[in-house]
Structure 1
Amino acid sequence: MRNRRYLDQRLKLHHLRVAEAITNQRSLLKAASVLAVSQPALTKTLQEVEEILGQRLFDRLPRGMRPTEAGGVFVQTARRILAELRRLDDELERIADPAGGAVALGALPVAASGVLPGALSRLKRSHAGIRIQLQQGRTEELLPLLAAGDLDLIVGRLYEPALADGFQREPLWEEPISILAHSAHPIFGLDAVTLDALRRYDLVLPTVSQRVGQEIDFLLDLLGLEQASSLRASSYGFIREMLHATDLISVMPRLMMAGDLLRGTLRVVPLPVPAPPRPAGLILPRKRALPPAAQAFVEALRAHVREIGERGITAITGDDGRAGKSDRTREDGTP
């Protein structure tokens, strides 16, 4: 008969926080800094929890700490418990202040600069007391946070997972790779935009993730646009200013500049060149209901996306639940 560990009586919350911090930081020193404790104190707490569990939780490597199999199981449970406590805190605050609450959003870069500002502005008008916690990152960085309960949902490009991962993906709009220019650009005065006309203008291009970069390069190669003399920048603000102030053109996911497209200061060059579909929308946990604040955000996002679709800027999800096609760079977003 195995010995009982009596974990419910012996484990404390700081044991869970220490294990989570070491896993996240991969270093005792960095974890101690995050938790605002000394490294000897953190090491003592780790020894305590390993003694309680009767298992070694981390392997000490030359370049940091790596969870053992037991450590991985323990940290996974610790994250769920800490996430539930955070949700309890939010729920109690919602009861105390029914108009408040918080939503923890994960956002991919294009969505963060594109549809999210308009959706959050709409949310603030209807639910001024809701607090927003936003974390931007790549899909592979955000999914573990969604699984652990640190995020309520993720907004952005819906990449097909290599393996089933247990998350619900709901397409709401398309993020086609498009050609953008300021609304008074000479190219819009032509009877028809030709490839030769397009090649007369220099480019300003975003420095983006590898996957988006490959899709941009594909369209550039298809059009025969010269990249050697192009400007490249990681700052969307810089690209935006260059598009407004010069006759440079850009190739990027169209909704990266959603606000300017809605205001009419930027336009999509209506060149009928095939572009692969790029569905975007929500990634949601299957077994966890959204808190009221997150539900309010989703309603605001849907309303904002509907406005974008009604303005002809991009395709939105059809009634059949599939994302509408947007396989051309035409200004109205239709095939």
Structure 2
Amino acid sequence: MSDILANRLLPKHFSLIRAVAEYGQLSLAANALALTQPAASRMLADIERHVGAAIFVRTPKGMEPTAIGVALARRAQNLLEEIREAAREVEAIRRGMTGTVRVGAVTGGAVGYVVPAIQTLKAEAEAADIHVDVAPSGALINDLLAGQLDFVLGRIPNGVDARQFSIVGVLSEEVDLLVHQSHPLAYAERLTMADLVHFPWVMQAPGAPVRQALEGVFIEQGAAIPSNIVNTTSLLVMIAMLAASNAIAPMSREVSELLCRHTTGTGLLQLDIELPIAVAPYHLITVAGKRMTPIAARMRELVMSEFDNRRRG
């Protein structure tokens, strides 16, 4: 009997069962499914004939499910969602929106552009296998050339021939100086670099773009470059150092805004400094002539769309 029932009940039957259970009125359920009430009534009669029992009973308040109706309505929700998921998966396969995409990005690019693109891509293709590597540009470019990444948000390092790449977009990067809210300068205004020299710092190693930009501002303002520095590329180490000391850390604007939101609970805030700190722009970089998979090409398109939206905004 169960096999016969399984073969006779169709998705449209389960849609009607769920709709009647949800709305409590056959007329409302029919309207939600774009059916006439007579057609819905005939379909419900067919369902009950297949099942061999009443699915709903009419009461003064409307239509209430029987015990069998409750069971079928509960199953209908899961079944219809599985059908929709199957349809999305088929469409993703048809469009080539399956498989793996590997993206490399500097920290600001990962937070500002890659994460929003991932959210959109996952809405289109849940099964997409997405990998994101966050590292300095030199390491990212090496992995790109080795075929381990589909594209990169980063900079071309000195000594690397840029002609082997396709380079698009000019993604600006601004730097904020972060401290813990208990820092002596946390709420000071219009700070100069001379005000910051004697505090401990935690930042990337010499030669990193953010550090070069910061040192350039110290030099521009005639201030000594800090000597008390902990060098690290780890964001977690930076956050821990800020929480445990009077250290100052330079971070890209995208990361800074993420960490300083009240909802994150980090207790960090941005110093009010007199002059802005701007880093050399980075770009979206692929290996010239390399053909990308549809899923990787879509991810790249979404990253560029996010960049265009920010530029227009």
1:291 aligned residue: 293
Q: Aligned runs of 1:32-181 on 2, under 5 Å?
A: 95=93, 99-108=97-106, 111-112=109-110, 116-117=114-115, 119-143=117-141, 145-147=143-145, 149-157=147-155, 163-181=161-179
| Cα distance in 2, alignment partners of residues 148 and 274 from structure 1 | 36
Q: Deviations over 1:300-327 (max 9, x none)?
A: 43465578x5xxxxxxx469xxxxxxxx
1:281 aligned residue: 283
| Cα distance in 2, alignment partners of residues 163 and 116 from structure 1 | 25
Q: SS at 1:189's partner residue? A: coil
Closer/same/farther in 2, CA of residues 145 and 279 from structure 1, 3 Å limit: same
Q: Deviations over 1:20-39 (max 9, x none)?
A: xxxxxxxxxxxxxxxxxxxx
For the 8 Å contact 1:158–1:278, the answer to whether it is kept is no
| Cα distance in 2, alignment partners of residues 240 and 225 from structure 1 | 25
| Cα distance in 2, alignment partners of residues 302 and 287 from structure 1 | 18
- Does 1:235 pair with 2:237? no
Closer/same/farther in 2, CA of residues 306 and 151 from structure 1, 3 Å limit: same
Closer/same/farther in 2, CA of residues 296 and 244 from structure 1, 3 Å limit: farther
* Percent identical residues: 20
Q: CA deviation at 1:147?
A: 4.6
For the 8 Å contact 2:242–2:249, the answer to whether it is kept is yes
Closer/same/farther in 2, CA of residues 165 and 179 from structure 1, 3 Å limit: same
Q: CA deviation at 1:163?
A: 4.1
| Cα distance in 1, alignment partners of residues 272 and 179 from structure 2 | 11
1:204 aligned residue: 201
For the 8 Å contact 2:96–2:294, the answer to whether it is kept is no
Q: Deviations over 1:127-153 (max 9, x none)?
A: 321112344555455446545644321
Closer/same/farther in 2, CA of residues 277 and 203 from structure 1, 3 Å limit: same
For the 8 Å contact 1:115–1:255, the answer to whether it is kept is no
Aligned residues: 218
Q: 2:273 aligns with which of 233, 248, 271?
A: 271
Which residue identity lines up with residue 105 of structure 1 in the other structure? V
Deviates more, 1:241-250 or 1:108-117: 108-117
Q: Deviations over 1:151-183 (max 9, x none)?
A: 321122355776442312122521234422346
| Cα distance in 1, alignment partners of residues 117 and 145 from structure 2 | 24
Q: Superposition RMSD on alpha carbons, in Å?
A: 4.1
Which residue identity lines up with residue 203 of structure 2 in the other structure? P
Which residue identity lines up with residue 205 of structure 1 in the other structure? V
Q: SS at 1:176's partner residue? A: strand
Q: CA deviation at 1:292?
A: 2.2
Q: Deviations over 1:66-89 (max 9, x none)?
A: xxxxxxxxxxxxxxxxxxxxxxxx
Closer/same/farther in 2, CA of residues 305 and 166 from structure 1, 3 Å limit: same
Which residue identity lines up with residue 130 of structure 1 in the other structure? A
Gaps of 5+ in 2: 1-91
Deviates more, 1:247-256 or 1:166-175: 247-256
Q: Deviations over 1:92-128 (max 9, x none)?
A: xx74795522112233465457754454345434432
| Cα distance in 2, alignment partners of residues 167 and 124 from structure 1 | 28
Q: Deviations over 1:3-44 (max 9, x none)?
A: xxxxxxxxxxxxxxxxxxxxxxxxxxxxxxxxxxxxxxxxxx
| Cα distance in 1, alignment partners of residues 130 and 307 from structure 2 | 19
Which residue identity lines up with residue 190 of structure 2 in the other structure? A
2:187 aligned residue: 189
Q: CA deviation at 1:239?
A: 0.8
1:301 aligned residue: 303
| Cα distance in 2, alignment partners of residues 258 and 137 from structure 1 | 20
| Cα distance in 2, alignment partners of residues 232 and 147 from structure 1 | 27
Structure number with greater Rg is 2
Q: Deviations over 1:198-238 (max 9, x none)?
A: 446x2332233634344443334445256233444342102
| Cα distance in 2, alignment partners of residues 139 and 198 from structure 1 | 28
2:81 aligned residue: none
- TM-score normalised by structure 1 residue count: 0.49
Gaps of 5+ in 1: 1-93, 310-316, 320-335
For the 8 Å contact 1:111–1:256, the answer to whether it is kept is no
